[in-house]
């Protein structure tokens, strides 16, 4: 379904094509709350993501777009269940919720659409049960870990549409499980991470860069693998020996904290890698990148590469100086698109792949590092992205979709 992604004014490309992003974005406001009315007259008050209009270019533009002229369908009550990192994770949960909010603003989702957070895996089924009881007709589930509960509930509720973010459903034999009421949003993230690795190798001052993740999930590992391969490509092109700590391409394994919420453990992990000489890191797993930012603000290391949404805007303002770039995924826009097509009656099930060719992934601008990145390297990154897009350079080593 590569060709199905409609370009609705969002292009995720390198900084030179995103010069107007900052003007469209606002500062962090993670203390905001959203109160949505549930069926039966009850109200559910939830803490909303504070980055609805400050994530990627895609999310920023989509949230300010009115419903298309001529839309005569009925809005769909849409509900979202998070993974354990919560809706204000400044990552894929926040992006997905921003996508639902954009659908509400554009008239494709009802005003009483809402989200429920999960603090433990045992929360997933009760949260979905509550959504079904409150007549949610489109349910968005976020993250690899919710694959099984999504498959079970989609099979049991064929009249409800499900959008599964960042995962492809599989059966007990790990074969793709194509359900007629589930669309899986998946991303060839290693393409953009490859370019980020090349960039980091060109900017590092110590000759060592690093990565760590929350857990060895496919959606986490793909960033780490692509980044490491990008460093390797830089070494091949330049004849250098930039080292990567935290991921082994051959073993398909690396350094993981075992948690997406334990920031103290993430700080310990970041510190240990910085002590080994790393000065640029790409932590993968929501807010576990902030402790690496803390270390850099304290004078340890040089820069952090963000993931999912542009961390320069998504993270608290005090961290702005640490972000070299961000490997972007158009989670918000593709979530909005899935809801829109459901409301329009054009929705189709199956794996929906976002990649460089359809602007489903990309790199954010360099922000405060703009002057640090040499002009020659900027040009190389732009060309590298084009070469990956047209297949001249292979950067998609992780199978995504089906």
Residue 317: CATH number of its domain: 3.40.50.2300
Q: What is the pLDDT of residue 21?
A: 31
Segments of the chain with pLDDT less than 70: 1-70, 90
The answer to the question of residue 270 being in a domain is yes
- At 67 the pLDDT is 52
Q: What is the pLDDT of residues 186-199, one digit of tens each?
A: 999 999 999 999 99
Structure confidence at residue 6 (pLDDT):
36
Question: How many domains is the chain partitioned into structurally?
Answer: 1
Domain-located, residue 9: no
Is 309 within a domain? yes
**Cβ count within 10 A of residue 348:** 12
Whether 179 maps to a domain, the answer reads no
pLDDT at 60: 30
Residue 229 within any structural domain of the chain: yes
In a domain, 37, yes or no: no
Q: Is residue 349 situated within a structural domain?
A: no
Determine the structural domain holding residue 200 and report its residue range: 189-330+359-389
Determine the pLDDT at residue 86.
Answer: 78
Domain annotation covers residue 314: yes
Range 225-245 burial, b when 16+ CB lie within 10 A, else e: bbbbbbbbbbbeeeeeebbbb
pTM value > 0.85: no
């Amino acid at each position: 379904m590569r060709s199905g992604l409609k370009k609705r004014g969002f292009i995720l490309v390198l900084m030179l094509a995103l010069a107007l992003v900052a003007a469209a974005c606002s500062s962090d406001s993670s203390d905001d709350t959203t109160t949505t009315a549930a069926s039966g007259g009850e109200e559910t008050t939830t803490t909303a993501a504070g980055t609805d209009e400050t994530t990627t270019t895609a999310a920023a533009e989509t949230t300010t777009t009115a419903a298309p002229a001529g839309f005569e369908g009925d809005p769909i009550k849409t509900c979202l269940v998070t993974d354990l990192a919560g809706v204000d994770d400044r990552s894929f949960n926040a992006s997905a919720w921003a996508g639902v909010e954009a659908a509400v603003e554009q008239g494709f989702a009802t005003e009483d659409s809402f989200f429920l957070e999960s603090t433990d895996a045992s929360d997933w089924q009760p949260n979905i049960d509550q959504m079904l009881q409150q007549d949610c007709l489109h349910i968005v589930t976020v993250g690899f870990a919710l694959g099984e509960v999504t498959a079970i509930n989609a099979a049991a509720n064929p009249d409800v549409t499900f959008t599964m973010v960042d995962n492809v459903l599989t059966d007990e034999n790990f074969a793709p499980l194509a359900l007629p009421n589930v669309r899986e949003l998946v991303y060839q993230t290693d393409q953009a991470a490859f370019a980020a690795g090349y960039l980091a190798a060109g900017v590092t001052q110590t000759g060592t860069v690093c990565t760590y993740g929350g857990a060895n999930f496919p959606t986490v590992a793909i960033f780490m693998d692509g980044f490491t391969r990008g460093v390797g490509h830089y070494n091949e092109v330049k004849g250098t020996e930039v080292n990567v700590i935290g991921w082994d391409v051959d073993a398909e394994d690396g350094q993981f904290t075992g948690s997406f919420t334990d920031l103290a453990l993430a700080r310990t992990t970041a510190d240990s890698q910085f002590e080994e000489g790393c000065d640029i890191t790409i932590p993968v797993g929501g807010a576990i990148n902030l402790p690496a930012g803390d270390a850099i603000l304290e004078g340890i290391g040089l820069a952090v590469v963000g993931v999912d949404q542009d961390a320069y805007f998504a993270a608290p303002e005090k961290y702005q100086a640490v972000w070299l770039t961000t490997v972007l995924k158009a989670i918000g826009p593709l979530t909005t698109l899935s809801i829109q097509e459901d409301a329009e009656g054009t929705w189709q099930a199956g794996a929906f792949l976002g990649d460089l060719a359809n602007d489903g992934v990309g790199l954010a601008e360099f922000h405060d590092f703009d002057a640090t990145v040499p002009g020659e390297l900027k040009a190389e990154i732009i060309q590298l992205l084009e070469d990956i897009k047209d297949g001249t350079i292979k950067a998609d080593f992780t199978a995504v979709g089906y």
